[in-house]
Amino acid sequence: MASWVASSNASFTSVWPYSPALILSSAVQNQPGKPWLPITCVEIGGSAAVTRSSLSEGPTLGNGGQDPLGGPRGLDTGRGRTRPAQAQTESCRHRRSWARDMIRVTFMQVRFWGTRGSIAAPGPKTARYGGNTSCVEVRASDGTVIILDCGTGARELGLHLAQTMPQPMRLHLFIGHTHWDHIQGFPFFVPAFLPGSELNIYAPVGFQRGLEEAMGGQMEYSYFPVKMRDLRSRIHFTELDEGFFRVGDVLVETQFMNHTAPTVAYRMTSDGATIAYATDHEPFWNASGRVSQHPGDERHIAFLKGANLVIHDAQYTEEEYRDKVGWGHSSLEYAVDVALAAGVERLVLFHHDPAHDDETMERMEVMARAHVAHRGQALEVLAAREGLELQVMGGSAAPAVAEASALQHRQIAGGRVLVVSANEAEVAEIEEILTDDGLILLRQSDMRAVLALGHELLPDIAIIDRELLDGDGDPMLETLRARLGRRNFPILVLADSSIPSDAVYRGEASSTDYLAKPFSPPMLRARVRAWLARTLMVFDSAERVSAASGVDRPLGGSDRRARGLSLLASVPLFRQLNGVQRETLLASAAEQSFAPGHVLIRENDPPERLFVILSGRVRVLEVAPDSPVELIVGELGEGEIIGELSMLRNQSRSATVVAIERTHCLVLPQSEFLKVLQNSTELAVSLLRTLAGRLYETDRRLSRYAPDPVTGLAGRRAFHDQYRRLAAVARRRKTGALLLVLDVSQLKAINDRYGYGVGDDVLRVVGDALVEGTRTTDLIVRHGGDEFVVFFPDAGPGDADTVIARVREKIKRLSARRGIPVAVTCNFGVVYAQAPPESAEHLLREADQDMLRRKR
C-alpha cells in the first residue's frame, strides 16, 4: 500500500512534518508559531483527497480558498489536478479511518524543490510546475534525510532545513552527475555554511575532475565570493561506482545511465518502500513502439523493477525527442513504457524542458496517462511540481538489484580498448575521445585478425564496427569472448541507427552493447567508462601508483601478468628472454600512458626507470650550449626503449624525452633490468645491437640535420622531413594545424650598423622567444637567413593571434634583458589547414602571401 501527499508551492516557510503523528497533530491543532503548508493527501485513481480541513471535520478547501484555520491559501486553480475527476465523488467517510491507519504504517516522504532540467526557467508561465532545476528531498522513517541533486531548488530547501530541522543536522546529498543544473544550487545551500552541520555528498566519478573539485570549481573567486574550503560545515565527498551502500536504514543502489557524462540512477529502499530516481537518461536504442530489447534498456528496466515510486526523466515528447537524439534525455512515452515494463506503481515525470510552460506540462501529463491507457495496463502518472509532497508507504520490499559495493572503485585509467574498424576517420575520432581518460587504444581493421590475436591483445573492452561482423554478428562476438576466456567480456558494437532493434540485439550476452552511428562523442565516452567500471579488475588503492605524468597500472593478477609477458615478447630487445627472465622483469613493472606533450624524462633526472614503447611516439631533446633552445636529437616509436644509456652508466639523464602523440609504455625498474642483463647473454647482445643502431642513426642525423650554429634550432631539411610525419598525424586525427612564418625586419641594416655579432644576438632572441612561446610538441626551425618557421599540430585558426602576441611579448622582454641596442621587430604570416598536405611547400607559399597582406 503506497499513498501520496500533494501540496501547493505557495509557501516554503512551513514545517514539513517528520512523522505521521506530526502530520495529524499539526494539521488539527495548528500550533501557534508553526505555519502550516496546506496539504492534500491523494491516492491517484482511488479515494478522495484528505485535506487538513477534512481531518478537522471542517469544510473542504476550495481552489484558492482561505484556510479556515488561518494557514496559507490553498491550492490555486490547476494545482489540484493530481487525481482523476471520479475521485471527487468518493465518500468522505473513509478519510479519517485512512488517516488513522496511516499513523501505524511506516513510509518514506518525498518533496520536490526543483523540477526543471538543463537551466532554471522561472517566471509566470512556469509558476505551477516550477522553474528551479533538479532538487528532491527524501526522508526515511528513521529520520535519514536524502537530497537528490542540488540544482537551484536547493536554495529554498536549505532555508527550510535551517529553519525547521534540529541542529546540528546531518544530510546526504546524492548527485546524479555534476552537470551544472544538478549542482549550481550548492553555493546557496544554507546548511553548508552552518557550523556543526555534516554533509555527505555522493556522485559518480566525472570526466576531467573529481567530485570535490567539480563541486568546488563553481565556488572559485572568479564565480563566487566564498570558496569551498571556507565553508563551516563538515563535508565528506564519496565517489560512487555501480553497486550498493547504506545510509541509515536506507539501502541505496546505483546504476549507470545513458547520458553525455557519467551519471547514476539511485534506488532507495527502506521499511519495504522503494523509490527510484532516474533522471538524465536516454533510451539505449531508438526503437519504434515499445522499449527495445537492447541490453541497456533491459538493465534499466530491471533496476526499476517493483519500485513503488519512480521519478524519471521525461524532458521531451516522442516527437521532440527525434531531434534531440544524443542529448541524453528521455521522452515521456519512453518513461511510461519502462515503468510499465518494470511493474512500478507510480511514475513522476521529471526534468522538465525549460521551454515547456505550465500549459505544455498539463498536456504532457494528459498524454502520459493516455499512453498508459493505450497500453491497457495500470500505472498512476503525474508531472512533478515544486512543492509537491508524496508519501510512499511500506509494504513488501522489492528485491535488491546490485551485487557489489558502490564504494569500491574500479581503476579505469590504463584500460585497454580494442577498436576494430576499417574506417580510419572513425578510429581517429574514438582515439581523440578516449585518450583523455588515460585509456590505451589497440587498433585493428580486420575482425578475423582480432580472433587470431585475441589471447595476445588482452583488451578490457572492445569497440567493433558492425559492418565487420558476419551476419548478425553473435557467433564472432562469442568466439572472441571464448578466445579471451571471458564470458562477460564487454563489447560495444557501432551500428547504423536505421537497423531495427530486433536485428541489433539477438544474443543472450548481457555484456554486448550497441551504440548508433553517428555516435555522440560524450555519450560514447560515458558508455565506455560505465562498462570499464563494471568489469575491470579492482585494485586496492595502495597497489596503484598515480603520477601527474600519467597513470601507472601494476601488472598484478594472472590476466594482467599474462598480458605483460605477451607485451615483453613483442619487443625485439626482449624476444630472446626465457619465461623466468621475463617474469623477473615484470615483478615490479607497470604500464603507463602519456598524453601528447607530456615529459617522460627530464634532463638530469635520476636513471631509475627504463621505458619500453608499446605504442605511440616520443621526441628526444638536448639543450644547446649557452641557449634555452632544445635540439631535436631524434624520435623513437613502437618497440624501442628509452633511458638505457643513463641506466647503464648510472648517471643522470642527458636528454629530455617528450611524447608527441599518445604513448603507451611498459616501465621497468633499473634494479630488475640490470639483474636480468647480468645473467642474460642474449639480452646483452641485443642491447649492444640497439645501442650500435642508435649511434649510427645519430651520426646520420647529425650529418644530415646539423642544427643551425647561431640559434641551435633545426634547419630547413629537418623541417621538411619532420613536417611530413606530423602532418600525417594531423590528417589522421582530423585535428588541423597552423603554420607560421616569421622574418626579422631590417636584419641586414642591423648587421651593417651594429655588426654581425649583434645581428646574431637578434636571431638568438627571436629563436629563444619562439621556443619559450610555443609548446614542446611544436616544430620550430630557422628556415634560412632572417626567416623562421613554426608548425603547430593540433591547433585551430583562432590560436594564430594568441601565438603571435605571445612571441612578440617574449621578443620584447628578451631584447631588454639581453641589452639588444635596437628594437627587434618581426613580420608574421600564418595559414591554417584542416588537413595539412603531404608537402609543406603549399602552406609556406600561403603563409608568405599572408605576411605580404599584413605588411600592407
Q: What is the pTM of this model?
A: 0.56
Instruction: Write the pLDDT tens digit of every residue in 728-768.
Output: 778 877 788 999 999 999 999 999 999 999 999 999 999 99
Under a CB-based contact definition with an 8 Å cutoff, are residues 309 and 384 in contact? no
Residue 705 near residue 715 (C-beta atoms within 8 A): yes
Q: Are 330 and 283 in contact (CB under 8 A)?
A: yes
Q: Which of 132, 137, 140 is nearest to 110 (CA)?
A: 137
Verify cis geometry, omega within 30 degrees of 0, for the bond prior to 596.
no
Tell me what pLDDT residue 500 has. Answer: 60
pLDDT tens-digit readout, 182-204:
999 999 999 999 998 999 999 98
408 within 8 A of 241, measured Cβ to Cβ: yes
**Contact criterion met (CB below 8 Å) for 148 and 265:** no
Between 548 and 432, the higher pLDDT residue: 432
Lowest mean pLDDT among 125-134, 694-703, 759-768: 694-703
Domains of the chain: 1-105 (no CATH), 108-256+263-281+328-393 (3.60.15.10), 416-538 (3.40.50.2300), 547-704 (2.60.120.10), 716-855 (3.30.70.270)
pLDDT tens sequence across 134-155: 999 999 988 999 999 999 999 9
Q: Which helix (H) or strand (E) holds 619?
A: strand 618-623
The Cα 685–Cα 671 span in angstroms is 19
Q: Is the pLDDT of residue 31 over 60?
A: no
**310's grid cell:** 519512480
Which residues have C-beta within 8 Å of that of residue 609, sequence separation ≥ 6?
643, 667, 668, 669, 670
pLDDT in the model for residue 700:
64
- In terms of average pLDDT, the best of 528-537, 728-737, 771-780, 823-832 is 823-832
pLDDT at 9 over 60: no
Among residues of the chain, what percentage have pLDDT more than 90? 32
Look at 218 and 2; give whichever has higher pLDDT. Answer: 218
Write down the pLDDT at residue 416: 82
